[in-house]
A = this chain, B = another copy of it.
Amino acid sequence: MSPPTTARQWIVAKKPTGQVHLSGPDATFALEPTPLPALSPNQLLLQPLYLSNDPAQRPWIQAGTDPERAYTPPAKQGQPMRAFGVIAKVVTSTSGNFAEGDLVSGMLEWTEYTVVDATSVQKLPEVAGIPTTAFLGALGGTGLTAYFGLLEVGHCKASDVVVVSGAAGATGQMVVQIAKKMIGCKKVVGIAGSAEKCKTVESLGADVCVNYKDADFDSQLKKATDEFADLYFDNVGGKILDAMLTRVKREGRIVACGAISAYNDQSAGAIHNWFEIISNRIAVKGFIVTDHLARAAIAREELVAAFKAGKIQISGDQETVVDTKFEDIPKTWVMLFAGGNTGKLVTKIV
């Protein structure tokens, strides 16, 4: 079979201000064909197999974002939609380091095929018992977010009571495991959105997990944090952050990692308990994993070592892999904001 000379790609057609639109005149994304160049030396023709879906892609495409203030350099209208992690198969290689059929990971786009320089992707190592998709999750951006957020930003230590929101999410599951099984924290409390998610979180080592959709969430949270929290790892912002501001210990710390509740609707993210930061002398630090990637290889090695020692789980259970036709990629992506997935949401292109 001769290699393809064109590929379909999903472009950012209209940057949203409020909700993402899957169809209609304001559709956020559009499917377009693009020509594929012939390979120069040291290049690869790749076929994306798995796409990482990350809340951070949402601010990336937000309309009107000031490039100077953005989380990451904002998307350009008309350009392909980017994923923060993609696993792809090498179709053709002009590099001595890659062979046809190799699996690689990198910051790629929502394309059927793409041509890249061989230096821009990493060949996936093989570790017995670790599924391929873990390189988008537990050993990818989300696992590193948990690792660096706890250790380098939150200065987490064994004597800490740690609370993590979005605990059943990709980052949250790793926060629970690293805090409880690697650092040995005194108590780890998860916050998640269903009884089933909470069960998963407790199975990963959380002392207790509270369902924020329960009518008595506030009193459950109060009970779970009867000693207050030394460290709150916030993945969600909004009402849960507001509740947690009243449960962080005097001189406690907050790692501000995500605010998914506010990405599609800013008013849902309003914070009313700011004064708690003052009256309880709380320290808050905003944090983005990309600032810490210089130490990514070391962190990944520590995580793999903890896995091999049986301390933490890195399994397919931590990913929700959704079989998705290429033309349905945006539909799977918006599942992120419906709160339906447990662990990393991964698109498997079928």
Contact = CB atoms under 8 A, between A and B. Distances in A.
Interface in A244-299: 246, 256-259, 262, 266-267, 269-272, 274-288, 291
B59 A274 contact: no
A279 B70 contact: yes
Interface of A: 59, 69-71, 237, 241, 246, 256-259, 262, 266-267, 269-272, 274-288, 291
Nearest to A270: B270
Contacts of A272: 266-267, 269-271
A238 to B, nearest CB: 8
Given A237-B275, A271-B274, A283-B283, 6 more contacts: A59-B279, A69-B246, A269-B275, A270-B271, A278-B287, A282-B284
Contacts of A277: 256, 284, 286
15 contacts: A59-B275, A69-B279, A69-B280, A237-B274, A256-B278, A258-B278, A259-B274, A269-B274, A270-B271, A276-B286, A279-B286, A280-B286, A281-B286, A283-B285, A284-B284
Contacts of A246: 69
A280 to B, nearest CB: 6
Q: Quickly give the copy total for this chain.
A: 2
A86 B225 CA distance: 39
A241 B275 CA distance: 12
A278 B266 contact: no
Contacts of A71: 278-279
A267 B269 CA distance: 13
Contacts of A284: 277, 282-285
A31 to B, nearest CB: 29
Contacts of A270: 270-272
A269 B279 CA distance: 15
Contacts of A280: 69, 286
Nearest to A262: B275
A282 B276 CA distance: 18
A153 to B, nearest CB: 9
Contacts of A288: 278-279, 281
A287 B258 CA distance: 24
Contact of A259 (B69, B259, B275, B282): B275
Nearest to A252: B286
A236 to B, nearest CB: 11
A181 to B, nearest CB: 26
Contacts of A278: 71, 256-259, 286-288
Q: Which of A241, A278, A285, A291 gathers the greatest number of chain B CB atoms within 10 Å? A: A278
A259 B274 CA distance: 8
Given A69-B246, A246-B69, A270-B270, A285 B275 contact: no
Nearest to A70: B279
A258 to B, nearest CB: 7
A277 to B, nearest CB: 4
A349 to B, nearest CB: 30
